[in-house]
Chains A and B, each alone.
Chain A
Amino acid sequence: MHLLPVVNAYAEIVKFLYHKGGMMIKLFSWALDKEKERRVSILQKVHLFKGLRRNLLMKLLVDLVEKEYEPGELIFSEGEIGKALYIILDGSVTIAKKGKGDCAVLAELQAGSYFGELALIDQLPRFATASAQKRTTMLIMYKSYFDDLIKGSPVISSRVLLNLVELLAAYVRKNHDERT
């Protein structure tokens, strides 16, 4: 009987906090990291992480290794064993493939793009060379971290693996279209 007013008061407090959530965020905005928020919005654009909740993306951002590359710096070379996925946070990257006599630029990737995703599945040699076009900041996801991520939570694993399968399906279709 005595518990009822306490439960009611608690419910009122929860309701107040829920409705004034925006106000609470504003109140503690000085403690929030604006740069992280910006980077999380970049991660939201990465197809591999499509459908993942914001707090999971924040976890990725905190856990992954960050590296800066100077303009023209080599990221990896064609033929090297690939073991990591790269996500561009700032700057741009050129993906090129050696041909007869010169290098063919396959793609120029901007912030929010990623490359090297096949390394998360197999660890075969890279089929192209990647180099920073300008000063570039990247997040690097190593295969063992990806494996831990997949093993750690069924929600994450089903979502990320589905995204990865979608990507592979797109590659197969593209390859098939080019052949026919």
Chain B
Amino acid sequence: MMKEPDGDLLKEIRKTHHQMPRWVIGLLLTGLLAIMVYYTSGLLVLILIAGIIAYLLSNVIKRIEYLGIKRSMAVAAVYVGAGLLLIGADILLLPCLQQETRNLTEKLPEITQQAEAAFQDLRGYPLAGDVIEKILSIMAQPSHLLSNMLNMPDLFSQAASAAFAMILIPFFVFFILKDWPAMLKRTMLWIPSAYVETSIAALSEIDLLAGRYLRGLALECSSVGAMAALGLAMLGVNYPVTLGIVTAAANIIPYIGPIISCLIACLIAFIQFKSAGAVLNIVLLYTAVRLLDDFLVQPLTIGRSVKLHPMLLVITIIAGQKLFGIMGMVLAVPAVTILQKVVVIFLDDRKYRAVKTEALKHSHQIIV
């Protein structure tokens, strides 16, 4: 038999122990976290990238674990597999990519001259003059444009160089993958019993949404990149593989990304063919890729995991870019979707509690 005074005493101790200091501790921790984020944002971005890669690989690790194999062994096997895949990709794609990059670097001054000449021809047209002036001024400072677009100095300068990041990211990924169950177990220890079930609900929803979004996005970007590269090669446009990779990478950013990649491809085609027809072909190709993506690829990959209103989606992307640069643009949509879902879970929890307690009062009538 359990003695009631003990239970009440225990509850009383828990109440007095947790109630007041929790607010203070929470406030202090939030402040500390904000300061840390401000001063170590570069490092945090690296950890975030490592987290996303680890998350994408976690499903493979789980599938190996289902066979009863140790997690550390599963992680090692995935690393070996990823290494072999990278070597394979290097053998297949790198020579082609190297040649395209070399050609592009060698011909860059010539291309710039050709572009300027082509734009000079267009200057005579009404309205085009101002636009061309702006494009030419931007082209004069390509590095400035790129840094503005990607916000790279903010991302990496505080943490390490890109080379350092290339070493750090696989290192972080390895330990996140290997120690994730232990980290989760430790986190669960801190959660009070009353919130365990709701926390697990939130965790499983986050897992479901983030997993579906990130894995779907990876598949979608690869398909879009491959379709664009194939189409560009068929149209005889130079650098199809490089442009395909650019299209795949830009596709990560909803709405804005595909437009940017289409503009880049149009520019290359215009410089190469010096005709409006070639640009029209590229626009048609990218429209076809977009339609295929929207009606065929996306429903099969990302599906309905993102349920944001298009207007809210664009606002989210812009806000993400303003706050965290390119990473903000990429992660804003899943972050807001997850936040939306978690808020719904906690609100539902409160609503459900009230409704079910009321239903329980009459349950005996229903059963009888």
Contacts and interface: CB of A to CB of B under 8 A. Distances in A.
Interface of A: 31-33, 36-37, 40, 55, 58-59, 62-63, 65-69, 72-77, 80-84, 94, 96, 98, 101-105, 123-125, 140, 142-145
Contacts of A84: 196-197, 200
Interface in B318-350: 349
Interface string B341-368: 0000000010011001101100100000
A36 B2 CA distance: 34
Contacts, number: 104
B204 interface: yes
A72 B13 CA distance: 13
B68 A32 contact: yes
Dominant SS among interface residues on chain B: helix
A33 B62 CA distance: 13
B91 interface: no
B68 A36 contact: yes
Contacts of A62: 62, 65-66
A140 B356 contact: no
Given A65-B184, A83-B198, A144 B68 contact: no
B62 A125 contact: no
Contacts of B200: 65, 83-84, 140, 142
B89 interface: no
B212 interface: no
B1 A32 contact: no
B205 A144 contact: yes
Interface of B: 1-4, 7, 10, 62, 65-71, 73, 181, 184-185, 188-189, 193-194, 196-198, 200-201, 203-205, 208, 349, 352-353, 356-357, 359-360, 363
Nearest to A62: B65
Contacts of B67: 55, 58
B341 to A, nearest CB: 11
B7 A103 contact: yes
Contacts of B359: 124
Nearest to A55: B66
Contacts of B208: 144
A143 B352 CA distance: 14
A124 B62 contact: no
B1 A66 contact: no
A102 B4 CA distance: 5
A66 B197 contact: no
A5 to B, nearest CB: 30
B185 A67 contact: yes
B66 A124 contact: no
B6 to A, nearest CB: 9
Q: Report, nearest first, the 6 A-B pairs whose CB atoms are least far apart.
A: A103-B2, A83-B197, A67-B188, A31-B73, A33-B70, A142-B200
Contact of B185 (A36, A66, A75, A103): A66
23 contacts: A31-B69, A31-B70, A31-B73, A36-B68, A40-B68, A55-B66, A66-B181, A67-B189, A67-B196, A73-B193, A80-B194, A81-B356, A82-B197, A83-B200, A101-B4, A102-B3, A103-B7, A124-B363, A125-B356, A140-B200, A142-B197, A143-B201, A144-B208
A102 B200 CA distance: 32
A43 to B, nearest CB: 13
Contact of A74 (B193, B198, B349): B193
A125 B355 CA distance: 11
Given A66-B188, A72-B10, A125 B357 contact: yes
A96 B69 CA distance: 39
Contacts of B353: 81
B180 to A, nearest CB: 11
B355 to A, nearest CB: 10
B12 to A, nearest CB: 13
Contact of B201 (A83, A101, A124): A83
A84 B202 CA distance: 13
A32 B72 CA distance: 10
Contacts of B356: 81, 123-125
A105 B2 contact: yes
